[in-house]
Chains A and B, each alone.
Chain A
Amino acid sequence: MSQTPFVAPPTTETVYGIEHLTKRYGRGKAAQSTRPANQDISLQIVPGEIFGLLGSNGAGKSTLIRQMVNLVAPSEGRITLFGYDIARKPDAVTRYVAYMPQKPTALLDLTAEEAIYFTGHLRGMSRADAKKAAAQLVQEWGLGEVRNKAVRHLSGGQNRLVGLAITLVADRPVMILDEPTNELDPSFRRQVWDSLKELNNQRGTTIILVTHNIQEAEQIIGRVAIMSQGRVVGLGRVGELKEKIDRSVRLELFLKPERAELAEPALHSFENARELKPNQWIVLVPRDNAEDDIHRILSGVRLENLEDFRVHTATLEDVYMAYTGRAIEDEEGV
């Protein structure tokens, strides 16, 4: 991405300041009687960081980021962007933030290159720069062969790449990406993470990510907020959060489908055992006594009932599980 930053933001200690944010959908009594989509959220995002928002379906992540780009008005609390209250100065968002929604629905009848060009031009790039940037992004993201095809006729993955290119065009100082790697194959997922990391390193772009792909995102995320039932239940650097649960070792067990019934009763008897997917279990074992505990668990489930097993230290996914009590689901957020 060779374009120069388009709008330099004011120098502030925080990019986003979120104070006691609550959102209740509906009006009047209906709004009061339903569970808030998010509740009393306070956090700050500092310049140049890559911030991750983790949460399962219904955790309130999508509501939070829609509030951050001014698409949803908070019921209580306020959001500042580079010191500006975005409710009072909404153009701060349009000037400084590029937002990639989970399901892009605009510009579907335009070709990929046109969609990128128009977004760049609407963001204030000159016609020539926007054209150049669109051509460059099309090449970079492997969209050359479909550059003249309407976006609606592209595959899910190609559509995602167009959405990403649209977000990247015109170099906004802040990027908010909702599930940027959904529907992408592994090589493109790798390219997305590398590209975001490079953007962050070279241009100091502040990146806010919502993703279910936490194992991959862990490589680039600096700080993370873990959301559950509309609240932030964990917040800090990935390392810090890991340290808090690092007394655990993760034992991952893959059961033979035909023998799963024989192993599961034993697994249910361990307090920290959880089923991640059918026939895939994880047990968090205290580090101090790991050797004995692992032996005890493997004896209980019996090796002949297992297809495979792995032992490793805590990952971001374990942090998530420790805070929320469940595995992150690969579903659409709220």
Chain B
Amino acid sequence: MVATRRFVLNFWDLFVIQLANWRWSWPATLINGLLVPLTTFFFFKMITSGDSTQINLYLISGNIIVSLLFTTMYGTCARFAFMRTFGVLDYYATLPVYKPLLVLAVNCGFLVLTLPTAFLTLLLGEWFFSLQVSVNPTFIILVPLASFSLSAVGAFVGVVAPNFDTATTISGILQFVFMGASPVLIPAERLPEIVQWFSYLLPSTYAADALRLSLTEQYSGRFFLDLAFLIIFDLAAMIFVASKMEWRQG
């Protein structure tokens, strides 16, 4: 009981510290996260006249993932790389802080920071394409799961890359790999076969698919498979990142 209470207090402090860190930077994150989705909406509407519901749905759900890629994945990567490179982890390492809780707190902090971006992308997409989508409880669950899956990848790069610049460069490349090599903005069947196979390795594939199915309330077996993949991936990735994050210089 005492240990659980300590865990909860520990997590809450670490989480609030993350939020406090970002109270000065959230407007920039919001703009950064909305920039690509808005540009994509605008250009696709210009090119396609925005008259295909199927494509518009892809654009809306896909751009929610894109906004998460540009905020949570890049952000967590930069955050962990910064903490490692500039000695911030030293502070936590000399306090009675649980490593996995710090990883979770940073990811949750980014989730809170990017929720407005995800919802604004959805609302703007609906408005742009005059499309009515269903915001239901599964969507509310899926956004955090999708966010965690991408932030965990960012966190992993942040804790293993040799330095800050390398970490952010890798993360920048991964954003485009995740965006282009998985059916986020483009339907899977239009991707080259080899890329289709490769996309099964990327969490963005499952996140984007589950979001699409949720927005159209198609709760098929595939939806639950996506959901199960995301839950397992998120848990495994968080534990893996915590185990790879070194408090101590060898």
Using a CB–CB cutoff of 8 Å, the interface residues on chain A facing chain B are 66, 69-73, 90-91, 93-95, 97-99, 101, 103-107, 109-110, 114, 118-119, 121-124, 150
Q: Which of B13, B14, B21, B94 contacts A69 (CB under 8 A)? A: B94
Beta-carbon contact of A122 and B95 below 8 Å:
yes
Residues of A close to B20: CB separation below 8 A: 109-110, 114
A71 touches which of B13, B24, B93 (Cβ 8 Å): B93
- CB pair A107–B17 under 8 Å, yes or no, is yes
Q: Does B138 contact A (CB under 8 A)?
A: no
Which of B13, B24, B92 has the largest count of A CB atoms less than 10 A from its CB?
B13
Cβ-defined contact, B91 with A104, below 8 A:
yes
B90 at the interface (CB under 8 A from A): yes
> With A72-B248, A107-B17 as given contacts, are A123 and B96 in contact (CB-CB < 8 Å)?
yes
With a cutoff of 8 Å between Cβ atoms, the chain B residues found around residue A71 in the complex are 90, 93-94, 247-249
Is there contact, CB below 8 Å, between A121 and B91?
Answer: no
Question: A105, B87: Cβ atoms under 8 Å?
Answer: yes
Q: Once the chains bind, are A97 and B94 in contact (CB under 8 Å)?
A: yes
**A152 to chain B: closest residue by CB:** B24
- Neighbouring A residues of B23 by C-beta, 8 Å: 109
Query: Could you list 15 examples of A-B contacts with CB < 8 Å?
Result: A70-B247, A71-B94, A71-B249, A90-B248, A94-B97, A97-B94, A99-B90, A101-B91, A104-B91, A105-B86, A105-B88, A105-B90, A107-B17, A118-B17, A121-B9
Complex alpha-carbon distance, A91 and B95, angstroms: 9
Whole-angstrom distance from the CB of B55 to the nearest CB of chain A? 41
Contact flag A101-B87 (CB < 8 Å), given A72-B249, A110-B21: yes
Q: Which residues of A lie under 8 Å from residue B14 when comparing CB positions?
A: 122
Please, which residues of chain B bring their CB within 8 A of the CB of A70? 93-94, 247-248
Residue of A whose beta carbon sits closest to that of B250: A73
Per-position binary interface string of chain B over residues 40-60, scored 1 when its CB falls under 8 Å from any chain A CB and 0 otherwise: 000000000000000000000
Give the interface size class of chain B: 20 to 34
Judging by beta carbons under 8 Å apart, are B21 and A122 in contact? no
Q: How far is the CB of A147 from chain B (nearest CB, A)?
A: 14
Smallest CB separation, B14 vs chain A (Å): 8
Q: Which residue of B lies closest to A97 (CB)?
A: B94
* Distance, CA A91 to CA B159, complexed state (A): 22
Q: A70-B93, A73-B249, A124-B96 are in contact. List 12 more A-B contacts (CB 8 A).
A: A66-B249, A72-B248, A90-B248, A94-B97, A95-B96, A97-B94, A98-B94, A99-B90, A99-B94, A118-B13, A118-B17, A122-B97
Report how far A122 CA is from B92 CA in the complex, Å.
9
Indicate if the CB atoms of A101 and B250 lie closer than 8 Å.
Answer: no
Instruction: State the CA gap A211–B172 with chains docked (Å).
Output: 42
Contact of B17 among A90, A110, A124 (CB under 8 A): A110
Contact of B96 among A73, A99, A122 (CB under 8 A): A122
| Interface contact A106-B90, CB-CB below 8 Å | yes
Bound-state Cα–Cα, A110 to B20, Å: 6
Choice from A72, A98, A122, A150 contacting B13 with Cβ under 8 Å = A122
Contacts of A124 in B (CB 8 A): 96
- B250 near A94: Cβ-Cβ < 8 Å: no
A94 touches B95 (CB 8 A): yes
Task: Give Cα A70–Cα B96 distance, bound, in whole angstroms.
Answer: 13
Closest to A110 in B: B20
Q: What residues on B are CB-neighbors of A93 within 8 Å? A: 94
Contacting pair B88 A106 (CB below 8 A): yes
Contacts of B93 in A (CB 8 A): 69-71, 94
Cα separation A71 to B246 with both chains bound (whole Å): 9
Q: Chain A contacts of B96 at CB under 8 A?
A: 91, 94-95, 122-124
Q: A119 contacts B9, CB within 8 Å?
A: no
Instruction: Please provide the chain B residues from 13 to 46 with a CB less than 8 Å away from any CB of chain A in the complex.
Output: 13-14, 16-17, 20-24
Contacts of A73 in B (CB 8 A): 248-250
Q: Determine the chain A residues whose CB is within 8 A of the CB of B94 once the complex forms.
A: 69-71, 93-94, 97-99
Judge whether B10 is part of the interface by a CB distance below 8 angstroms: yes
- Closest Cβ–Cβ distance, residue A143 to chain B (whole Å): 17
Q: Which of A93, A106, A110 gathers the greatest number of chain B CB atoms within 10 Å?
A: A106
A150 to B9, CA, bound (A): 23
Top 8 closest pairs, chain A to chain B, by CB: A106-B91, A109-B21, A94-B96, A106-B88, A99-B94, A105-B87, A72-B249, A105-B86
Bound CA–CA A267/B162 (angstroms): 50
Which of B88, B94, B247, B248 is most buried by chain A, counting CB atoms within 10 A of its CB? B94
